[in-house]
Structure 1
Amino acid sequence: MSMKQAKNINEVILLLDQIIEKSKIDQSNLGLFAILYREVTVRVKEGIQNGSFQNGERMEKLDVIFANRYLKAYYEYQAKEKPSECWGFAFEQADKFWPIVLQHLLLGMNAHINLDLGIASAEICTVEDIKDLQADFDKINAILSNLVGGVEKCLIKIWPTLTWILKFTGKIDTFFIDFSMETARNGAWKFANEFVAVPENEREACIQLRDQRITEIARLVSNPGYFVSAVFKFIRLFERGTIAQKIIDMQIAEQNNVECVAA
């Protein structure tokens, strides 16, 4: 499989569409994060067109570099090569039975925000001007946070009785999302500011160290403790539909403005 990389934001969306369609055919959970990420990219594109960002040209450059890190990891995994450790772990979980939809999304977000976003931000900035990026950096994270806030609606569509479980457990999934997003937002910006100051010949070692730390977070997402894991396993046993049907449900909800992955 060739290593596909995007040159602009429209190509990012096209390549995500291809991953989603392939995931339907392969019955692969990899398509779940791709749907969420596609929606994020569409919102960023709309924001650029509407002048919502301070610097639209810079934001598209960031979006493409950011996306290409995910695409590179995806195609490396498909070619049975070794992507970054945190992406490799996330992709491996996609082949397993027990992770629920929420965990697949969080694993993708963990790798992409906590590792990739800081690196991409540093690539388009210098130590002197990275502060100028913060407002737009916060906006792209706000888009993602708002989208993830509605994952519960999509889970309820896949498994209607989830409503009762969430009520009984005090909406444990919402807590899980909020905690992860707050940690990711703060950590990604801190890492971006640290990484931009790292000399070129030391960057690979810095990335590897960061990768190891983010993989540890991924392990916690995969195994969040006895009680949460027990709830998630119960949810997984009653998830409705094939993987392809779950992917289609998320797409239909988006197309019908039901906002499956939007708050």
Structure 2
Amino acid sequence: MAQMTVEVSLDPVLARMRGLDGRLHPRDGVAVFNRVYLTVTRELRERIARGGFPEVRTATTLTVLFAERYLAAVETASDGRRVPACWRPLFQYRRHPGVRPLQHALAGINAHIGYDLPVAVVACCRALGCAPAALEADFDRVGDTLVALEEHIREDLMPGPDLLEVADPLTHLLGSWSLERARDAAWSAARLLWMLRDSPDLTGEFTESLGAGVGLVGRCLLTPTSVRNAPAHGC
């Protein structure tokens, strides 16, 4: 199995996220997700450094390839090109006045976990010359880190008591999505993608369908909840 060279350090992707944090408007929906993802990636780097991942190279390679997919989507949008279907809702509604920061954060997480993660797992397998089973322990540890941080993300970004009018529909809307379920689905998708790796046509069909499905969930998560008569985009 051919291997490719991957820079095994989180510093370059962290530097690019910090650069975005300095350039994007704080209320931009992409900026909201970027701040969340910057926190997550810093936490992963610290856990790797503390020995929380027995296979340091495997965990770092997976985390870098994972992050690079999000950063590539940002660059694509900056160049005026069409972003992948999974990311399209977030970039289309990044400045919508009726969408709350928590919705932007979770829509970004949905895109990144639901589509980017399984694709990154396969890319990591190719880079390291192994099958997905060899990554499962590190995949689970990365997922556990994300799940542990999800509660804090919701607490930090959920509207306060002064926004009770939108809190009820927002809570109902966001309560229908689970990072843990998304992570489980991502692992299943990664295994299927690996099985299809020698069939480019089937791989293309599956990834296109996966991206569209993840994008549809993201569009639902971004349903406006706070501005009367805000333009509806449905789900």
TM-score (structure 2 length as normaliser): 0.82
User: Do 2:88 and 2:215's aligned partners in 1 also have CA atoms closer than 8 Å?
Assistant: no
Change (3 A) 1:103 1:170: closer
Aligned mates of 1:149, 1:162 — CA distance in 2: 19
Misfit runs of 4+, over 6 Å: none
Aligned mates of 1:177, 1:73 — CA distance in 2: 27
Matches within 5 A, 1:114-125: 114-125=114-125
The percentage of counterpart residues that share the same residue type is 23
Q: Deviations over 1:159-211 (max 9, x none)?
A: 45357976xx49926x8357321321111111011111113423333221211
Matches within 5 A, 1:37-186: 37-125=37-125, 129-155=131-157, 159=160, 161-162=162-163, 169=168, 172=171, 176=174, 179-186=177-184
Partner of 1:261: none
Aligned mates of 2:219, 2:165 — CA distance in 1: 27
For structure 2, list consecutive stretches of 5 or more residues without a partner in the other structure.
1-5, 231-235
User: Do 2:77 and 2:83's aligned partners in 1 also have CA atoms closer than 8 Å?
Assistant: yes
Which amino acid is the alignment partner of residue 191 of structure 2? N
Which amino acid is the alignment partner of residue 189 of structure 2? F
User: Do 1:84 and 1:211's aligned partners in 2 also have CA atoms closer than 8 Å?
Assistant: yes
Aligned mates of 2:11, 2:56 — CA distance in 1: 14
Matches within 5 A, 1:224-263: 232-233=225-226
Q: Deviations over 1:63-105 (max 9, x none)?
A: 1111111011111011110110121221111021111011101
**Secondary structure of residue in 1 paired with 2:87:** helix
Q: Deviations over 1:45-73 (max 9, x none)?
A: 11111111131111111111111110111
Q: Deviations over 1:234-257 (max 9, x none)?
A: 7xx9xxxxxxxxxxxxxxxxxxxx
For structure 1, list consecutive stretches of 5 or more residues without a partner in the other structure.
1-5, 224-228, 238-263
Alpha-carbon RMSD across the aligned residues, in angstroms, is 2.8
Aligned mates of 1:92, 1:164 — CA distance in 2: 25
* Structure 1 position 222, deviation (Å): 2.0
* Structure 1 position 137, deviation (Å): 0.9
Which amino acid is the alignment partner of residue 205 of structure 1? E
Matches within 5 A, 1:13-52: 13-24=14-25, 28-52=28-52
Which amino acid is the alignment partner of residue 194 of structure 2? V
For residue 191 of structure 1, the aligned residue among 189, 194, 206 is: 189
User: Do 1:77 and 1:88's aligned partners in 2 also have CA atoms closer than 8 Å?
Assistant: no
Aligned mates of 1:52, 1:178 — CA distance in 2: 31
Pick the structure with more helix per residue: 1
Partner of 1:250: none
Count the aligned residue pairs.
219
**Secondary structure of residue in 2 paired with 1:121:** helix
User: Do 2:29 and 2:90's aligned partners in 1 also have CA atoms closer than 8 Å?
Assistant: no
User: Do 2:99 and 2:222's aligned partners in 1 also have CA atoms closer than 8 Å?
Assistant: yes
Which amino acid is the alignment partner of residue 226 of structure 2? K
Aligned mates of 2:212, 2:176 — CA distance in 1: 23
* Structure 1 position 128, deviation (Å): 6.7
